[in-house]
Amino acid sequence: MKSSTRVAALLIVIVLAAAACGAFISTTFAPRWQATVLVGIGQIGIGRDRRLTDPGALVQRVNFKGFAQQALKAAGLPPDSSVDMSALPMSTLKATVARGGDHFVELSVEARSRDQAMKVAEAALGILQAEHAQILQPGKARLEKSLADTNKSIESLTRERTLILERIQSNGDSAAKKFSENVMLSEAIRSSDTELRVLREMQRSLEEQLDPSRTFNTRAVAPIYAPERPIKPKKLVGALIGLCFGLLLDFALLISINTGFRRQFNAFTGLAPAAR
The Cα–Cα gap between 182 and 187 comes to 8
Each residue's pLDDT tens digit, 133-188: 999 999 999 999 999 999 999 999 888 888 877 776 666 655 555 655 656 667 77
Quick one: DSSP state of residue 83?
S
Say what percent of the chain tops pLDDT 90. Answer: 47
Each residue's pLDDT tens digit, 21-37: 655 555 555 788 999 99
Pairing of strands 104-111, 33-40: antiparallel
Strand-by-strand arrangement of the 33-40 sheet: 94-97, 104-111, 33-40, 219-220
Query: What burial class does residue 256 get, using C-beta atoms within 10 Å of its C-beta: 0-12 exposed, 13-18 middle, 19+ buried?
Result: exposed
pTM of the model: 0.71
Q: Looking at this protein, which amino acid is placed at residue 24? A: F
Give Cα 211 distance to the centre of its chain. 23
Does pLDDT of 204 surpass 60?
A: yes
Say what percent of the chain tops pLDDT 70. Answer: 66
